[in-house]
Amino acid sequence: MRLYLASTSPARLATLRAAGIEPVVLAPLVDEEETVRRAEQGRDPLPAAEMVQLLARAKAEGGVAANAGEPIDGLVLGGDSAFELDGVIYGKPHTPERARERWLAQRGRTGVLHSGHHLLLVRGGEVVRGVGGPTAATVTFADDITDDEIDAYVATGEPLHVAGAFTIDSLGAGFISGIVGDPHTVVGLSIPRLRGLVRELGVDWPSLWKRAGAASS
């Protein structure tokens, strides 16, 4: 069974490869801010878990639509992440100034990283069924991070394009003192949750491995 990843996140791609899966990468054309704005019309702001799940579904469906010229047969996975601190939801900071502000605010603090997952079973380009669900993990940042370390990290550009302005699988790892929950959730893709969704759609998990024994190699 072929898995399509409707995300251009290098971290999600690396996570799948480490789990023995070599996906086909799709680039869904989704305006995240507009998608959330439409969903919130006439109602309170979406909770973090609901927001990431909304965007994960939009990306999965967008991936199918973007590949309409070459009909998909397989599973299409969409994902999204957001960091919540003191009830405020933070996505990607995009600018160095905003990334620095966030690090000054979250230094020595604990927040929650939410990741949404939506998986579509697609045959001949037609969606047969979809399932999904969010996961969450708490993240605690070291309290001894210096301003100079924050400036050096921001200068690398890494925190500008990730939810919460941090990673656990690259340069940001040294600034995190603890994680409670599935570490893969903090990367943006929970492998245990994905396996559950795959099985819910009636697909055998090992059928996604790129080669026999990939999970243990």
Active-site amino acid positions: 80
Task: Identify the CA nearest to 188 among candidates 11, 2, 29.
Answer: 11
Tell me 40's DSSP state. H
Tokens matching residue 6: 């409707």
Tokens matching residue 169: 């699988």
Distance of CA 25 to the CA centre of its chain: 14
How crowded is the C-beta side of 66, counted as CA atoms within 13 Å? 17
- Is the separation of the CB atoms in 168 and 186 below 8 Å? yes
The dihedral built from the CA positions of residue 17, 125, 130 and 162, taken in this order, carries a sign that is positive
